[in-house]
Amino acid sequence: MRIGKYQLENNVIVAPMAGITDRPFRQLCRRLGAGLAVSEMLSSNPKVWKTEKSMNRMDHSGESGIRAVQIAGADPELMAQAAQFNVANGAQIIDINMGCPAKKVNKKLAGSALLQFPELVEEIIDAVVNAVDIPVTLKIRTGWDPDNRNGVEIARIAERYGIASLAVHGRTRACMYKGEAEYDTIRDIKRSVSIPVVANGDITSPEKAKQVLDYTGADAIMIGRAAQGRPWIFREIDHYLRTGEHLQPPAIAEVRSILMEHLTNLHMFYGEPMGARIARKHVSWYLQTHDSDGQFRRVFNALDNPQAQVVALEQYFKTLAAN
């Protein structure tokens, strides 16, 4: 899988997820087998670039691998400026968000709302591609609603205006995350364009990854929600795609090691009290299968001190190992 001049180590990619794919999570996923990790969505509105939230999202210091930054907005000129700003900040790939279904994004005509307006899609892509000299990628959904699946039309526009790679989530905006993703539209898109196509949506296992790649003919897959609390899914899928064999799931000692590493990096990256607050959701995802009644997670979610979180988790894993 190539994106412009960049050769990915494999064809398993971390989807950009707001509030999740921060630098600690991206680095962890890369270490555990992801070929590329795309940053959280950044607004094209320059008024918010200096806020703490945006500054954290733009932080790629010391990051290994290819730095891919996603931008969102509806004004072609502002999107072009945002692309240039992020390139100056170290971005090596710019990704345009036309896939986010969130209401607060869509009401500004950004994200997947743009799929309703192919002419505006053209203008944004053209402006961004011509504003920077690095590859520009695009993430979309299959259309606005099930009666308006115009993914093939948008894909052809993307190819015509210089998009280097296209990621497609197998739902429309109206579907949000309900029901099951469909891959027929992704297959149609792949057959309609010659640029690399990345399949996204409901890929939760190595078998499903292979099935989707075989069915759609896509060049790569993108994993989002399935990686929450399970960042080792990338090495599991990559290994299966290369060998046809399953890796053993991580032992509880490795889960502990990965989680503690993630926790420490979140505390360091965000500082107090934000690091402890953000850690809560990640810990909850990691422990869903082990803490089935949620008893420990309720206790953990009341902790707002990093050291108290570390102590509580160490004790939890000691108890788990003893049983």
CB-based contacts of 64, cutoff 8 Å, min separation 6: 27, 30
Cβ–Cβ under 8 Å, residues 204 and 212: no
The whole-angstrom distance between residue 193's C-alpha and the CA centroid of its chain comes to: 23
6-7/2-3 β-pairing? antiparallel
220-223/36-43 β-pairing? unpaired
* Of 207, 206, 167, 210, nearest in space to 190 by CA: 167
The whole-angstrom distance between residue 158's C-alpha and the CA centroid of its chain comes to: 20
Cβ–Cβ under 8 Å, residues 303 and 312: yes
Q: Which ranges of 148-219 does DSSP label H, i.e. alpha helix?
A: 151-160, 184-192, 206-216
Give the number of other CB atoms < 10 A from CB of residue 109: 14
Helix (H) or strand (E) holding 69: strand 68-72
Dihedral of CA atoms 60, 64, 65, 66 in degrees, nearest 10, equals: 20
N-term to C-term CA, the chain? 44
* Of 55, 115, 117, 109, nearest in space to 79 by CA: 109
100 is catalytic: yes
197-200/165-169 β-pairing? parallel
Q: Under DSSP, is residue 275 helix (H, G, I), strand (E, B) or coil?
A: helix
Give strand pairing partners of 178: none
CA distance 221 to 213: 7
Q: Which of 42, 96, 100, 233 is catalytic?
A: 100
Catalytic residue ranges = 100
